[in-house]
Structure 1
Amino acid sequence: MPWPHIPLNADPAAFPARPPADLSDPAVIAAHDQAAFDAVETMVDHWDRPGWAAQTRAYYWMLTFPDSPALDNLARRCQQHLAPLGLDPVPDDGLHITLTRVGSDATLPLSRLDDVISAAVPLLPAAFRLRAVPLAGSRGAVRLTVAPWDPVLALHAALSKSMTRLGLTPRKPTALFRPHLSLAYNNRSRPAAPVIEAVTTLRDLPPVDLHVQEVQLVELRREDRAYRWDIVKSVPLG
């Protein structure tokens, strides 16, 4: 199906700062992601995030992949190769694509979550397929490119619209959203060159196709140096 064209803005706070020239071509998106990562000089500590503590809980819309052995196998293979770098690998049951933050549990009572879900359901796009392509990164992580971006942007825009109707403000507008799937988080400041060198050798691995049929509203937390969550509701797309 043709997806609506959602224009993206360049912004130095986003990564990559500029969007790819084509949001539907996996080869163009992967090359763009890889070139952006290859230009990074210094990586930063992903976990250095003010406002997050062991007791922090927040609600997010995410895509999770509990039944994708091919993705799990690709992730493990990449993580094993990268292990000498001392990154923090994402566990198999922690692989995800973050879409948008809904709110903290301190400001969003459980009784309001039914409204969040009900507002989203009629706006959700149809199910879609994604390709997860090895391997690129950001200033704080090593990650798979996911493509095409068009359906993920449509989903992000729908969720943002549903939140706005409830008076909830998405932290990041769709115009600045950059879909990705992290495999390992960087845990200290370091020169990027050794990480880039290790990542480059994995780019010949075959991609994995993913069938996205649901979106998850989750309560997210951090445990040590990993993200964990409880699913509030898995909502079918379409």
Structure 2
Amino acid sequence: MVAYPAAFPPLPPADPDDPAAVSAHDWHAFGQVGVMVDHWDRPGWTNTTRAYYWLLTVTSQQLRDQARYCQEQVRHLGLDEIAQDGLHLTMGRVGLREEIELPTLRDLATAASHDAPPAADIHAIPLTASPGAIRYSIAPWTPLTELYTHLSSAALQVGLPSRDDPDRFRPHIGIAYSNKHRPADEVREAIEPLRALPVVPVRVEHVHLVELRREPGAYRWNAIHAVPLRAQ
């Protein structure tokens, strides 16, 4: 992977499979942020926008419980908290609803199911932030980048464009979105003690193709297809 200015962090970690290296890298990058932004200030998204995405949804109760605890500790910041059933890791955008017909989505799920990468164990590492959200760092990256590449290849197989550049992929799990401009220092002060919490193991066995929508202060989705990853 190489530098990608539009991603955060722009540079990937030196060792994307080492949890300590990823955590330190992400925290250092957030240390360079002076001002948080409004995550929802995104051109092209309206209340009627519907788009298809690949997501890894979080079902681990251990991670949900820890994320809820972290949210409680930063609640004084007034961020938009992500509901337990809304925790996710974005694996890529497929396209807008009006651009893709349902039979094509079925074909995409079938293509993605063929020779899918193996199920994997990853780690959710407390806690860091980007300019627009508080989030977990993730390691190792390799099984996720392999899945990302596989999903992009499946899109090409069914005639859809590969919309995401693997160089910009920065796996993470958000827990709260910034909803206004604010000094980043106050966010760093609030989340730094939470970095001492234990790393949470997460088993990745499925990737979901969903129809995503935006509601006030939240993303919500309808799951369309669940693609199982190969048993090891």
- Which string of whole-angstrom CA distances, capped at 9 and with x for unpartnered residues, describes residues 120-174 of structure 1? 1124210000100100110100000111011010000100111122232233211
Are residues 1:216 and 2:200 paired?
no
Cα displacement string for residues 155-199 of structure 1 (whole angstroms, at most 9, x for unaligned residues): 001001111222322332112110000010000111111001111
Unaligned stretches of 5+ residues in structure 1: 1-7
Q: Which residue number in structure 2 is paired with residue 175 of structure 1?
A: 167
Which of 40, 65, 69 pairs up with 1:73?
A: 65
Q: Distance in 2 between matches of 1:170 and 1:235?
A: 18
1:170 and 1:62 map into 2 onto residues whose CA distance is 16
Distance 2:162 2:178 in 1: 26
Q: Distance in 2 between matches of 1:105 and 1:18?
A: 32
Indicate conservation of the 8 Å contact 1:134/1:145, yes or no. Answer: yes
Q: 1:201 is paired with a residue of what secondary structure? A: helix
Structure with the higher strand share, 1 or 2: 2
Matches within 5 A, 1:97-116: 97-116=89-108
1:1-238 to 2 correspondences below 5 Å: 8-66=1-59, 68-238=60-230
For 1:65 and 1:43, the matched residues in 2 are separated by: 25
Q: TM-score, normalised by structure 1?
A: 0.94
- Partners of 2:150 and 2:115 lie apart in 1 by 6
CA contact (8 A) 2:152 2:164 kept: no
In 2, Cα distance between equivalents of 1:196 and 1:171: 33
**Residue 207 of structure 1, CA deviation:** 1.3
Report the residue type matching 2:13 in the other structure.
P
Distance 1:167 1:26 in 2: 36
Aligned amino acid, residue 237 of structure 1: L
Letter in 2 for 1:33: D
| Structure 1 position 62, deviation (Å) | 0.6
What does the per-residue CA deviation read over 1:95-119, in whole Å, with 9 as the maximum and x for residues that have no partner?
0000111111111111211111112
Structure 1 consecutive aligned stretches of length 4 or more whose deviation exceeds 3 Å: none
CA distance in 1, matches of 2:179, 2:42: 11
Answer whether contact 2:80 2:178 (CA < 8 A) is retained: yes
Give ranges in structure 2 of 5+ residues lacking alignment.
none
Give the stretch that moved more between structures: 185-194 or 166-175. Answer: 166-175
Whether contact under 8 Å (2:36, 2:182) holds in the other structure is yes
The answer as to whether partners of 1:217 and 1:233 remain within 8 angstroms in 2 is yes
Mapped to 2, the partners of 1:20 and 1:195 lie a distance apart of 22
RMSD: 1.0
Contact 1:215 1:237 in 2 (8 A): yes
- Contact kept in structure 2, 1:123 and 1:158, CA below 8 Å: no
Whether contact under 8 Å (1:123, 1:159) holds in the other structure is: no
